[in-house]
Every structure is written in structure tokens, then in C-alpha cells.
Amino acid sequence: MSEWKKQYDKDGYYFPIQAISSEQALGYRKRLEAAEKLVADDPAKKKLMQLQPAAVLDFADELARMPSIVNPVTEILGDDVLLWNATFFIKEPQSDSFISWHQDLKYWGMDDSHEVTAWLALSDVTTATGCMKFVPGSHTLDMVEHIDTFEENNLLSRGQEIAVDVNEDEAVHVQLKPGEMSLHHGKLFHGSSPNSTNDRRIGLALRYISTNMQQTADLKPYAKLVAGKDDYGNFRLLDSPSGVLSEDDVAIAYENIEIQEQFLFAGTNLER
């Protein structure tokens, strides 16, 4: 077993991994910012790009399938891997946006924890810009209770926050240069602070699962096969999007959001 994988198993995360060069990262950032300009007058579409980038942006799908990103993921999950979801987590300059301490798998409705997030930096990601913070070894704990806060500046769907005290002194700051990525386990305690700088903090979180994972919903959720084969058929397999925000891709992305919201908002009384 490789040294980094041993460390991942022990701590529940590993970083930094050079996924793409800093020049490539800048190129992808420019593509994102060009797409944002296209929808500058359409906040719903802008939000959709953040929530479902791999479904509606060809370049996000391209990143999600890149061997330099997927190969380390297969070392963790095995040969047969799906991209289940992706999200752009963007903190604007001098913004109060933050992410409370949480465990990813808490509200995803999955039957197991064969999941890993590859979080790719497309800008400088430092303590000042609001990098992620991880609690080493916390992935070995069971799922803990979370409290919904729906706090305005919290970037999480329900502002969910771990109901136990997290000792900030134990937290490791996941500082990344553009083009580097981290990998983290779905049960790891993690969060992030606001961005106090004059640059945007841009990260693409890619959620990968083993093909044997299941998410029981009335309608079968979508996923993309990014390595190996799918012998289980637990998800509807999606192809790559065509271009940026094509009509067909947008329709599928909205349908997938509706399916996912069954889990993300389960147990809340919130009308979305």
C-alpha cells in the first residue's frame, strides 16, 4: 500500500496532491468566470452552475474524469467508481461565507460510506481565504448528531452543524495552491472559515462513490461512471454535458437537484 494511502486511512484525508498545473488551474478558473459572465443576470442559472457543475459545464465534467484526479480515488474506492455529485464552493473576496463543522455523509441517504471527496483548488486556498479544516482521525467515529441552523452565510444546504464540540486547536488547515487537491472521507469532521482577502476562493468538490453504493429514492438518482464498470445499476448513468448550460443538461440537473433534496432536506419542515 502506498504511503499516502496509509496516511489517508489513519487520518481520513490526504493533501496536497498536484492534480493539474497552476497554469491549467488558471485556465479552468477563466472558463468558470466566463460561464459566470454568461449568466450574470440569471441568479438561478448561476446557482445551478455551482450546485451541479459536472452536469451543466463541459469543463467541470472534464476535470471530474481526469486520470490525475480519478486514479488516487480508485486507490481508495477500488476500480469501479462513479462521480455522484460535484459542487463549486466559492467564497467571494471579503465575504462572511463559511462552512460549519459537519460530516458529508450525514444527509446524503447513502447505504454505506464508500465515498471520497476530491477538492480541487482553482485559486489560492489559505487560512486567510477560508481553506477547509479537518479533524484528523474523526472519520473513524460513528455519524454524530447534527443541528440545522439555516444560517444565512453558511454554504451548506441546511446549515447543519455537528452537535458536539470540536476543538479548533486539533484542526489541520488544508492550504492548497491552484491546481492542488485534497481527498477526504465522508465521515471526517470538517468545516471552513470566511474569506478575509481580496481574491475569490474557488474550490471544486468532486464526490466519488463505489458502484455498489446505493441511495434509495423514488426516482433513481444520476451519476457518471468515471472508472471501471458498473455491475450494480443503482444509479442512472449520465454522459458528459454538451458545452455550457445546454437546455437538455439544465433539465437533467434540475431533476437531479429535486431527487437529491429528498435527502438533503429530510426531516426539516423547510419549503424549498
Ligand X SMILES: O=C(O)CCC(=O)C(=O)O
Contact footprint for ligand X (CB under 6 A)? 89, 99, 104, 117, 119, 132, 190, 192, 203, 205
Closer CB to ligand X, 87 or 250, in the complex: 87
Q: Which of 213, 189, 200 is nearest to 263 (CA)?
A: 213
CB distance 161 to 192 below 8 Å: no
Round to whole Å and give the CA distance between 188 and 88.
19
Place of cell 474569506: 195
As measured in angstroms, the least distance from the Cβ of 172 to ligand X is 14
**Which residue(s) pair with 85 in the sheet?**
207
Closer CB to ligand X, 104 or 124, in the complex: 104
| Number of Cβ within a 10 Å radius of residue 65 | 16
Closer CB to ligand X, 74 or 157, in the complex: 157
Distances in whole angstroms, Cα of residue 53 to Cα of each of 38, 69, 172, 218: 15, 16, 28, 24
Grouping H, G, I as helix, E, B as strand and the rest as coil, residue 111 is coil
CB distance 206 to 54 below 8 Å: yes
Closer CB to ligand X, 74 or 117, in the complex: 117
Q: Which of 104, 126, 129 is nearest to 114 (CA)?
A: 104
As measured in angstroms, the least distance from the Cβ of 87 to ligand X is 7
As measured in angstroms, the least distance from the Cβ of 192 to ligand X is 3
User: Within a 13 Å sphere around the CA of 113, how many CA atoms are in the beta-carbon half?
Assistant: 15
As measured in angstroms, the least distance from the Cβ of 91 to ligand X is 7
Closer CB to ligand X, 131 or 250, in the complex: 131
Closer CB to ligand X, 192 or 260, in the complex: 192
As measured in angstroms, the least distance from the Cβ of 242 to ligand X is 27
As measured in angstroms, the least distance from the Cβ of 182 to ligand X is 9
Round to whole Å and give the CA distance between 213 and 82.
9
